[in-house]
Amino acid sequence: MELLVAVVILVFVSVALMQTAIVNIEFNMKNALRDEGVRLAGESLNGMRSASFANLTTVYNASTVVVERRVRNVDFRYTVTNTATDITANNKRLETFVKWEWKNEFFNTTVSTVR
């Protein structure tokens, strides 16, 4: 009888530990995807900064591209939208919006600067 009680307790503890591991893996994957989205947004914004100032609003007028990245040996698609809008004659607002999906849930990040 004591052995049966010990086995039942061991099963409950094992199930709880497995659930904790699954939640931890999911949390880490979300963070890895977010980090890659932020990295992609930074790369895209740096590309906009290096472009000619006069052509920014025509070249980056809500241009959208789909970029595939490999995160933890799984391919993911990120949708990158770049916009450049005039603030004044000498200033433009550069913005990069990155969107991705994981487990039927959408995530996004936005990075912007003024040039």
* Residue found by looking up tokens 């980090």 in the block: 35
User: Which residues, in sequence order, are CB contacts of 62 under 8 Å at separation 6+?
Assistant: 81, 82, 83
In this prediction, residue 8 carries a pLDDT of 94
Element (DSSP H or E) covering residue 7: helix 2-49
**pLDDT score, position 6:** 94
Please report, to the nearest 10 degrees, the dihedral formed by the alpha carbons of residues 33, 34, 40, 41 taken in order. Answer: 160
Q: Which structural domain, as residue segments, surrounds residue 55?
A: 2-114
pLDDT at 51 (0 to 100): 84
Q: What is the CA radius of gyration of the chain?
A: 22
Question: In the block, which residue shows the tokens 């490999």?
Answer: 70
pLDDT at 89: 82
Q: Tell me: the pLDDT tens digits for 11-46?
A: 999 999 999 999 999 999 999 999 999 999 999 999
Domains of the chain: total: 1
What six digits make up the tokens of 114?
A: 């003024």
What value does the mean pLDDT take over residues 103-109? 95
pLDDT tens per residue, range 48-93: 888 888 777 777 778 899 999 999 999 999 999 999 888 888 889 9
Tokens (6 digits) for 101: 């999906």
Which pLDDT score, from 0 to 100, does residue 98 have? 97
